[in-house]
Structure 1
Amino acid sequence: MSGLEVRELSAGYRGRTVVSAVSTTVDSGGWLGIIGPNGAGKSTLLKAIAGLVGHTGSVLVDGRPLGSLRRRERARTIGYAPQIPQLPIGLTVTDYVLLGRTPHLGPLARESAADLDVVSSVLARMDLTGLADRSLSTLSGGERQRAVLARALAQRAGVLLLDEPTTGLDIGHAQALLDLVDELRVELGTTVISTLHDLTLAGQYAERLLLLDRGEVVTEGAPAEALTPARLATHYAARTSVLRSPDGTPVIAPIR
């Protein structure tokens, strides 16, 4: 699959810099979690990596500049699930998730049995099978979010960018989603970069965390190194205790 390198990436809007000189490398099959307080620039950084906002610096996939790839090859390389998606009108859940297979089809080709199997599997894992024939417009907020993520997962891109993927999901659906992403990472070598507000989930699933504040990288490293009470106090203005789950991953407990 694909490794990703970000070199001195800066991005913003209408002349205002939001993210400044970010550099990082994610090996093929790795999972980088981007964390930081509200307004830190997490979503902007993810959009810049995806090529959706103007930026300086460079993004390379397996040593190749992302901007040099043709549109179809780029769609097979990068999958992106936004935090606030714009959904098409009139599609069923199945039709929408099938759009994730489009980069893998020829110009006039229809979905194969293998494509349909991928979609069916993703729908089942995202607890959407019972909603497969429903129109997107009839779904609740959490259901729509799961459909958006299902489309990105069905794309089977080498690099998967997820912007706050657990927003609107209850804890069970959030864990099911992150478990599936982790399986794709381990089994297919998918490289994952995600932003997450939930620091416990971030520390339990991502291999490394990049802490962003005011558009700049504060630290990057293993979850135990990035998630300390001192750092959370400094950058989140939060009073916390860092506990350990049975497998040793961090659990962030607020202190009243």
Structure 2
Amino acid sequence: MSTLELDELSAGYRRRTVVSGVSTRVDSGSWLGIIGPNGSGKSTLLKAMLGLVRHEGRVLVDGRAVTGLRHRDRARMIGYAPQIPQLPVGLTVTDYVLLGRTPHLGPLGREGSADLDVIGQVLERLDLSDLAGRALSTLSGGERQRTVLARAIAQRAGVLLLDEPTTGLDVGHAQALLDLVDELRAELGTTVVSTLHDLTLAGQYADRLVLLENGRVAAEGSPADVLTAPLLAERYAARVSILHAPDGSPVVAPVRGRG
């Protein structure tokens, strides 16, 4: 169970600043969804939380600054699934997902039965069991995406960062993935931060949303507060209607324009 805090976090590439002055707190076991138009800085913000890009400000996990931590210690605290991963050559699905257990291995660096149990459960839940022995190079785009997410989930870190986790997935696999992440929150107290293009999924799974525009926070609050037709029309230049699912969560429905 971990709390994540961002304190005036700014980040960018070389001399270009992409994200400016983001401050927020994600309580232990909660889910923060980061939304915003293309190019608003969502992926850069996640990378800054891990120290993967130039940044200023502070990122704290349970009050500890992430900057300066050893890679192994950071990997125990924060798991990350990038939107466009670089997959190693020659590994099977199982080999790759087992890499998620590396921060938890003992001095001999060998996985035990508990690690293998975690891997088996994650592969099953993400519909990857039949692909366990397949080489990564033979997977489809959606299969690769699920495999990358399986590695991050198997890491069992206190904070889980997911960059567009449903990209390339059909609706069934997208729901299975997000349901599994939601169960991790309930069972292990995992704190989740995810970027999502699908505003309806963001509103259904996240407790709170941060809407970025041009690298700055344009709105923050509950899904009901952020996913409003006027606000989305202003920030996305979109025509939408807000409906509601049976559980009361907002459904963002595009409205066709008529000449």
**In structure 1, C-alpha distance between the alignment counterparts of 2:74 and 2:38, rounded to whole Å:** 30
Aligned to 2:94: 94
- Return the offset for 1:54: 1.0
Q: Following the alignment from structure 2 to structure 1, what is the Cα–Cα distance between the partners of residues 198 and 208? A: 15
Q: Quick one: structure 1 residues 216 and 204, their matched pair in 2 at CA, closer, same or farther if it must change by over 3 Å? A: same
- Give the match for residue 115 of structure 1: 115
Q: Aligned partners of 2:152 and 2:109: how far apart in 1? A: 20
Instruction: Indicate if the aligned counterparts of 2:41 and 2:215 stay in contact, CA closer than 8 A.
Output: yes
Query: Shift in Å at residue 69 of structure 1?
Result: 2.5
Is 2:201 aligned against 1:187?
Answer: no
Tell me the equivalent position of 2:233.
233
Structure 1 runs not aligned, ≥5 long: none
Task: Tell me what 2:214 maps to.
Answer: 214
Moved more, 69-78 or 20-29: 69-78
**Cα deviation digits, residues 203-226 of structure 1 (max 9, x gap):** 000000000000000111000000
- State the match for 2:173 in structure 1: 173
Post-superposition CA distance 1:15-35 (Å, at most 9, x none) = 011000000000010100000
Give the superposition deviation at 1:106: 1.7
Work out whether residues 102 and 109 of structure 2, in 8 Å CA contact, stay in contact via their aligned partners in 1: no
Larger mean CA deviation between 88-97 and 62-71 belongs to 62-71
Deviates more, 1:103-112 or 1:144-153: 103-112
Q: Aligned-pair distance for 1:186?
A: 1.1
Q: Verify the 8 A CA contact 2:81 2:152 in the aligned structure 1.
A: yes
Deviations 1:7-64 (A, max 9, x none): 0000011201100000000001010000000000000001001111110000000011
Show the counterpart of 1:63: 63
Whole-Å separation in 2 of the counterparts to 1:164 and 1:187 = 23
Aligned: 1:199 with 2:202: no
Preserved contact between residue 93 and residue 134 of structure 2 (Cα < 8 Å): yes
TM-score by length of 2: 0.98
* Structure 1 CA distance for aligned equivalents of residues 250 and 212 of structure 2: 19
- Following superposition, the deviation at residue 108 of structure 1 comes to 1.6
* TM-score normalised by L of structure 1: 0.99
| Equivalent position amino acid for 1:93 in 2 | V
The size of the alignment, in residue pairs, is: 256
Give the secondary-structure state (helix, strand or coil) at the position aligned to 1:67: coil
Residue 67 of structure 2: SS of its match in structure 1? Answer: helix
C-alpha separation in 2, matches of 1:240 and 1:38: 17
Question: What is the CA distance between 1:71 and its match in structure 2?
Answer: 2.1
Alignment of 1:8-157 (within 5 A): 8-157=8-157
CA RMSD of aligned residues (A): 0.6
User: Whole-Å Cα distance in 2 between the matches of residues 74 and 40 of structure 1?
Assistant: 26
Q: Structure 2: give runs of 5+ residues left out of the alignment.
A: none
Q: What percentage of residue pairs aligned between the two structures are identical?
A: 77
Give the SS at the match of 1:34: strand
1:6 equivalent in alignment to 2:23: no
Q: What secondary structure is seen at the aligned counterpart in 1 of 2:127?
A: coil
- Does the CA contact (< 8 Å) of 1:50 and 1:161 recur in 2? no
Q: Residues of 1 paired with 2:109 and 2:34: CA distance?
A: 37
- Equivalent-residue separation in structure 2 for 1:4 and 1:43 (angstroms): 17
C-alpha separation in 2, matches of 1:187 and 1:9 = 30
